[in-house]
Amino acid sequence: MEENQTMVTEFILLGFCLGPRIHIALFALFSLCYIFTLLGNGFTLGLICVEPRLHSPMYFFLSNLATVDIAYACNTVPQTLVNLLDETKSISFAGCMMQTYLFLTFANTECVLLVVMSYDRFVAIRHPLHYTVIMNWKVCTILAAVSWIVSFLLALVHLVLILKLPFCGPHVINHFFCEILSVLKLACADTTLNQVIIFAACVFALVGPLCFVLVSYTCILVAILRIQSGEGRRKAFSTCSSHLCVVGLFFGSAIVMYMAPKSQHPEEQQKILFLFYSFFNPMLNPLIYSLRNAEVKSALRRSLCNKNHSQLV
């Protein structure tokens, strides 16, 4: 094995072996998804910045979520688009490791942010009179910073463990990006420790947060049913249902990918799941929050009216 071990300089991303014509169609589809993701999340960030009524803890965390979704797209989509048209489909070793690290970082960040957002809604609905005191800007900043820092450190653990492994060939990754499980399959050493750490991280970053979110929204549901005002119940349901849609899409696909038995989900099916997770979730998140959130739609109408008024003047 020592004779076969050489310094790895690049990997080959196998991607989708479906023929040139289908690759061109996929290139067009993924390009549209990428553009909509950047525009949708960029629009969300811009609207939150310019609209004073959206300067609240909920939309502060939503702006962080939009930032994560933009980072998701910029990390995986450009390389995927290039590989659809490039026959070599190569990626440097350093680029592959960085892609893996950033993907894990942003995935962990989104997990923690969704938990923080559920806690924010819990406080807003269960303790409305004390909401501004409990969720003050110092607390919000600390929660957001912790979400990012913990995620970077947790992903760093995975990266260090991968870098300790030898890769002696073949160097073909059966995926459209450097997903951690696909990369580990190329290591010519025992990866049991890596697999254990990944499973433990899934329990910590997926199952634990999901349980917390479900408990929070159970309590929120009880509180909503106690609201006397029909308008108040409608507003609370509108806000929370948007968050639950995002939670369901994100945690559902992630748990199926990393914790379901592998025999039930062959590699090609895993690619499809990752497409939904990496391409469509970031694109759908701003649509869900915009179309199902009355405050966002009202802020948009106010911004458009102010813009039209300024043009007339």
pLDDT of residue 168: 80
pTM of the model: 0.85
**What is the pLDDT averaged over residues 62-82?**
91
Q: How many residues does the chain have?
A: 313
Residue of higher predicted confidence among 104 and 9: 104
Instruction: Note whether 250 and 194 are within 8 A (CB).
Output: no
Distances (CA, A) of 100 to 104, 182, 184: 6, 10, 11
Going by pLDDT thresholds of 50, 70 and 90, the confidence category of residue 3 is very low
Residue of higher predicted confidence among 180 and 8: 180
Instruction: Note whether 206 and 259 are within 8 A (CB).
Output: yes
Going by pLDDT thresholds of 50, 70 and 90, the confidence category of residue 292 is low
Going by pLDDT thresholds of 50, 70 and 90, the confidence category of residue 4 is very low
pLDDT of residue 266: 64
Nearest to 104 by CA among 63, 64, 67, 158: 158
pLDDT of residue 103: 92
pLDDT of residue 138: 94
Distance CA 196, CA 162 (A): 13
* pLDDT beyond 60 at 2: no
Distance CA 39, CA 170 (A): 39
Looking at every residue in the chain, the average pLDDT score rounds to 82
Residue of higher predicted confidence among 236 and 82: 82
pLDDT tens per residue, range 267-290: 667 777 777 777 788 888 887 776
* pLDDT beyond 80 at 227: no
pLDDT tens per residue, range 9-39: 889 988 887 778 888 998 999 999 999 999 9
State both tokens at 26: 């996929």
